[in-house]
A and B are shown apart, each in its own frame.
Chain A
């Protein structure tokens, strides 16, 4: 394969199109981080494809100087599946939102994950429908007042982490638009993972759902409300990391390290531990609730499992080995023929 002559820079991934998101939208930061990370991945630009559905986030491909397709609502995952099945050497990125991926595209999402195509799925979660101007989404919390739910949403929301793990995703991570360093790191890790990598990105929609995640992003609350997990490290959070999480059987408990509790028997994160990942995915309490657990960020889980496209192509190779490369004339002739002279 041809190698790149000159190293690429973030600039090489910027298109000549005006970016049309609302000023202050969290999407800008995500775009920037993706453009910053891509040159470091060593993938020729022409081998990268961004596929999106419909929604604010789904305009993303137009701003990436790669191959791209802005498809239809909810179906980017399905489009990407066909592309990856036939062109496994491409680096395929799916950009979707909470409505696009979990509402209209919910079915394709779970099937993508169980098949484990080697793609990166970025879910820009802003807990609202932005493009259609502010209706509640499948990720909006109960009671959310929006244009379509003036008395509060009575939809119980999806928990994206639990949904992904329930569909046997082989990689799930959470990050946020306001933490560029963390987001870049997660993007790199998601790309390195072979299989479907889900990256849920908390993204502020400053027009229709401003501040939905501010407890996780603002200085005053961030330390208490967020839990950054890293394999091999104990689960610590709070001012000066003064709190930890301990597992009591299968029940997580917050321990106050300033009151003499030992830091030695804290939960040590292991992204390969499925049971612990399941428990972690349930750290999903409403931050307004008393005694709630902090919200985890980082890689919850990853495992190695065969990818659909590899198995598909292996079957083709096996078939060729067993039967020889297809002979069209023999196929057209079939088994029983007769002649009329």
Chain B
């Protein structure tokens, strides 16, 4: 029987299985290959909340969604076209996301009585057999048996053999999408450099998967996704947290500061620590503190000493850091605080995403302690945003929040990586040494940006004291004077406001510069809004999209932009936070569009809202 080759513009595949099934590896391998073949891509891993949930259970399902195409791709996909499931639980957990008519590739071995029971299917029910999947194309493959057969005379134990099941699936999907496997072959050769037997075994299974598609007559369709017309340049694939780490390193490098990263492990921020800890040869000092408070306080100590001080956490940890961040607003020293947001409040949904810590960043301190806030919109944008957070922190001597979230932190996309020389310079001048005959050093004397000098220990003649008690203007001495307090509160606020003079103006991402509807987003909703707006525009709707990176202060022209549209719609993965800030500042009747499910918006949800508003 001959197979047909069908060309697709874009495909979303969900790989799902037990956390021990090697799902993430299968997903990333297919992703890397897709990227190398010139597809645009976006990915999102879905980890189980429990580290080692019992095998075969719903709680133990690990997923990896990949969206790739010959067109521009901005999200990992609203749902998926292909669902690869290693067991019954994986099917149950992900079936909802599969488009009607989609393909299911099921490992039949994962649908035995035990697995069906673990997935909580009623006794005697097997979804592969009961006709409930007739809206889909189901391909059943006994992956376990095939893998064992392929390695029958390898001399390996069953347990070890079963570990390469994922390679069979990968090989098969490569066949289905007509892909070259050389990238994965090279990867396996490198990964198991020290175990030639494992290289051989994995390659054998990978090829067996590919050949299975080729030789069995079950599959009569193959698909092709051509290279995308992407911006010219040299690309790599990057995950959000990895990009954030690189942004921090780059900022330290360009500013000639040494990077100190004080942190305490927390999901989903820890990967930044893991990444940075690898690069000690860049002079990076990572400090795994005893708790969140020590993490930020040690960072303040490092920053006082002249390092680029960065601390990171997620919502619960940021709550603990609040008092110290307030101290940094009084000390007026650089401090970058990364908040990789997750579902809250309290412990909330550690592995799920949310944008609900914006007001915490904005107001989460006692007294009036303004800070700068910027947010990343896509995985690769974490690089630019983290870099920019460092620049603002050291050039404006202030704490800066870098907001990301679990969705983009763990998601990945192709990135035209910059070259070091093209990065915006970061200007740092420590205060200079003084002689006894010079005028007295005034640690809180400000420049035109209202910024005070960074006077680091070890500099002769600059001995001075800072602290959390209200400062006297200029001298920095303790002062309880009422007028001075008001002056200082205002100065600290104006200093943050003045940052607006040193950041880019707000751009319209897409759509007309004036008109009926503006979608104003921030953070990780970028991809869904972008996709929805492109679609709506192509259907003739008068809608524009602006995405705000600088959340405090806002770009100077933001108010002007908002006034150019009849309606402003603000989608947020929270109950309405940026909208409060926008309404407060610009007194406009912006409309909120909110989702608080620990899940990102789908582009369809946004698109439907656009249509509803413009009907």
Contacts and interface: CB of A to CB of B under 8 A. Distances in A.
Interface of A: 2, 15, 17, 44-49, 51, 54, 61-62, 64-72, 75, 78-87, 89-90, 107-108, 111, 312, 315-316, 318-320, 322-326, 328-329, 331-334, 336-341
Contacts of A324: 281
Label chain B's interface by main secondary structure.
mixed
A71 B297 contact: yes
Contacts of A51: 301
B499 interface: no
B196 interface: no
Given A108-B290, A338-B38, A70 B301 contact: no
B280 A85 contact: no
Interface residues on B, range: 35 or more
Contacts of A111: 289-290, 294
A139 B461 CA distance: 39
Contacts of B231: 340
Contacts of A44: 460
Given A70-B466, A87-B305, A108 B417 contact: no
B307 to A, nearest CB: 5
A316 B249 CA distance: 14
Contacts of B323: 72
Contacts of B301: 51, 69, 78-86
B465 A71 contact: no
B596 to A, nearest CB: 33
Contacts of B290: 107-108, 111
Nearest to B478: A62
A79 B462 contact: no
A139 B32 CA distance: 60
Interface string B287-305: 1011101100111111111
Interface in B223-262: 227, 230-238, 246, 249-250, 253, 258, 260, 262
Interface string B306-333: 1101000000000000011001000100
B302 A332 contact: no
B262 A67 contact: no
Nearest to B237: A336
B331 A82 contact: no
Contacts of A47: 457-458
Contacts of A316: 280-281, 283-285
B457 A79 contact: no
Given A69-B331, A79-B304, A328-B253, A320 B458 contact: no
30 contacts: A2-B460, A46-B462, A47-B457, A61-B465, A62-B477, A62-B478, A69-B301, A70-B466, A70-B469, A71-B297, A71-B300, A72-B327, A78-B301, A82-B297, A82-B298, A85-B301, A86-B307, A316-B281, A323-B281, A326-B281, A326-B282, A331-B249, A334-B417, A337-B234, A338-B234, A338-B235, A339-B233, A340-B38, A340-B231, A341-B232
Given A62-B478, A83-B302, A340-B227, 14 more contacts: A62-B467, A69-B467, A79-B301, A79-B304, A82-B300, A83-B305, A85-B301, A108-B290, A331-B246, A331-B249, A331-B282, A336-B236, A338-B35, A340-B231
A319 B465 contact: no
A334 B236 CA distance: 7
Contact of B466 (A17, A69, A312): A69
A82 B309 contact: yes
Given A86-B260, A326-B282, A17 B477 contact: yes
Most-contacted residue by chain B among A44, A89, A340 (CB, 10 A): A340
Contact of A75 (B293, B459, B460): B293
Interface string B258-279: 1010100000000000000001
Contacts of A49: 457
Nearest to B298: A82
Contacts of B425: none
Contacts of A323: 281
Contacts of A15: 465
A90 B477 contact: no
B537 interface: no
A276 to B, nearest CB: 29
B36 interface: yes
Interface in B458-500: 458-469, 477-478
B418 interface: yes
A71 B304 CA distance: 11
Contact of B324 (A72, A328, A340): A72
B465 A46 contact: no
A61 B227 CA distance: 64
Most buried by B among A46, A89, A323: A46
Contact of B250 (A70, A83, A332): A332
B419 interface: yes
A69 B465 contact: yes
B420 interface: yes
A64 B463 CA distance: 9
A46 B302 contact: no
Nearest to A52: B467
Nearest to A60: B465
Contact of B281 (A319, A334, A339): A319
Given A62-B467, A72-B468, A333 B236 contact: yes
A71 B260 contact: no
A325 B262 contact: no
A325 B305 contact: no
B281 A78 contact: no
Q: Which of A62, A82, A85 has the largest number of chain B CB atoms within 10 A?
A: A82
A82 B299 contact: yes
A81 B294 contact: yes
Contacts of B284: 316
A45 to B, nearest CB: 6
B296 to A, nearest CB: 8
B230 A331 contact: no
Contacts of A78: 289, 293-294, 297-298, 301
**The 9 residue pairs across chains A and B that have the minimum distance between CB atoms:** A70-B467, A82-B298, A82-B301, A326-B282, A78-B297, A319-B280, A83-B301, A79-B301, A78-B294
Nearest to A67: B457
A333 B250 CA distance: 12
Given A46-B459, A70-B469, A72-B468, A320 B294 contact: no
Nearest to B38: A340
A84 B466 CA distance: 17
A312 B285 contact: yes
Given A46-B460, A72-B327, A332-B246, A86 B305 contact: yes
Contacts of B303: 82
Given A68-B465, A315-B280, A85 B233 contact: no
A46 B463 contact: yes
A123 B218 CA distance: 78
A149 B284 CA distance: 49
Contacts of A336: 32, 35-36, 183, 236-237
A79 B303 CA distance: 10
